[in-house]
Amino acid sequence: MIKIVNFDNCNSTSIDPRVRAFYMRTASEMKYCSPYYGNPASESVKTLIEEARWNVARMLNADPSEIILTSSGTEANNLAVKGTAVANHKKGNHVISTDIEHSSVEYPLKTLSRFDFVIDRIPFEDGIKFNVSGYEQLFKRTLLVSIGYANSEAGFMLPIKTLSLAARERGVPFHTDACSVAGRVKLDVRDIGCDMLSVSAHKFGGPSGVGALFVRRGTRLFPLIEGGQEENGMRGGAYDVCAIAAMGEAARLAAAEMDERTSKIVRVRDMIVRDLNDACPGQIKWVSSGDDLFYHLGFVASGVNSEAAAAKLAQKGILISPASWCVTAAGKPSAALALRGLGLDEAQCYVRICVNYMNTEEEASLLAASLAQYMDSSR
């Protein structure tokens, strides 16, 4: 069996072995994690859920009462966008966002536009820089601003605190999709000033199929899933107790180890950059080398189709992320890559590497050598 070396951690991190063990121990030892779930109001079940909620809240510097547990970051984003629009539709029909949002924000926005909501996109200037004055001029009976904390395709963070505070001054709810950075970057919802923030467990060493939405106390929100009174009526349905508990454990570890993890990621990242530059002189154009989003590496590999390169490395168990499949389908670079100055030809050669704290220096050497070998054979 091929050992998997995951450098596609922007898509999904590997589950932390300690979190996996925690999940399995919970599943095997606790009766209510069998197929016959116990009443979520029972003390033993409630304790696990509330401990997880507390750990997620601590990771964000939030109050546990402000955390809504969801099935994913996608659900959290949908709840923030649609839930806010429905709850506040009498105040206006205007939403502000960007052209580079994750599909779990973009598609809900498109749905709102079908129901006479007006979506305005913030203008950029000089590549990935926001036109802040242009943003401030967009407000008009605005009921929501939803902007992602970072773009993990092109590797840059957005000035979320500045944008959030501008919305707060106007009394407009501000949501940020932080799934790509939560558990990796220190987030403080009090400092950011946001009203809602989405997280997804599988992005920070937890299991897939579970996430959360921070909702500042007093923020008006309409539930997407109605039924029981779980999550104070904001998200009906039986709890996946084991997954929720494991997310809490992943959040606890992330908060406790963030500085240590960052140092390790930077060390492995720099090793990849050095080895690729040494092995492939003149063949690599760095688009993102960790200068902004520290765990993100993105480069154009001259003359190499990134989709083919990713497929070849996957045969060895090495996972990276190409952009060419979506570029080919669309016939143009994505909005995020276009902001980085990439045209169609370069976008088809764009390779993304995302380093995780579980990646080792040995894996970094293997990745660089394998990429260099493939690039040399493709000349």
3-state secondary structure (DSSP) of residue 108: helix
Average pLDDT, the chain: 92
Enzyme catalytic residues:
326
- Each residue's pLDDT tens digit, 23-79: 998 888 665 445 435 555 566 788 899 999 999 999 999 999 999 999 999 999 999
Amino acid 290: pLDDT: 87
Q: Strand 284-289 relative to strand 211-215: parallel, antiparallel, unpaired?
A: unpaired
**96's tokens:** 């502000």
CB-hemisphere CA count at 13 Å for 134? 11
Amino acid 253: pLDDT: 98
- Say if residue 249's pLDDT is above 90: yes
The pair phi, psi for residue 271, each rounded to 5°, is -65, -40
Asked if residues 188 and 1 have their Cβ atoms less than 8 Å apart, the reply is no
To which residue do tokens 């950029």 refer? Answer: 124
For residue 189, what is the enclosing H or E element? helix 189-192
In order, the DSSP letters of 54-99 are: HHHHHHHT--GGGEEEES-HHHHHHHHHHHHHHHTGGG--EEEE-S
- Each residue's pLDDT tens digit, 107-166: 999 999 999 999 999 988 888 888 888 999 999 999 999 999 999 999 999 999 999 999
**29's tokens:** 């030892």
Confidence class for position 171, pLDDT limits 50, 70, 90: very high
- Each residue's pLDDT tens digit, 266-305: 999 999 999 999 998 888 999 999 888 999 999 999 888 8
In order, the DSSP letters of 271-338 are: HHHHHHHHHSTTTEEEEEESSSSTTEEEEEETT--HHHHHHHHHTTTEE-EESHHHHHHHTS--HHHH
CATH fold, domain 17-255, is Aspartate Aminotransferase; domain 2 (3.40.640)
CA distance 234 to 5: 39
CATH fold, domain 5-12+258-377, is Aspartate Aminotransferase, domain 1 (3.90.1150)
CA distance 321 to 152: 11
Report yes or no on whether pTM surpasses 0.85.
yes
Identify residue 360 by its one-letter amino acid code.
Answer: T
Q: Which CA distances in Å does 199 have to 2, 76, 86, 101, 215?
A: 31, 7, 22, 15, 12
Per-domain boundaries in the chain = 5-12+258-377, 17-255
CA distance 155 to 150: 7
DSSP 352: E
Q: Which residue has the higher pLDDT, 325 or 355?
A: 355
3-state secondary structure (DSSP) of residue 33: helix
Is the alpha carbon torsion for 301, 102, 133, 291 positive or negative? negative
Which residues are within 8 A (CB) of 32 and not within 5 positions of it... i.e. 6 or more apart?
38, 42, 44, 45, 241
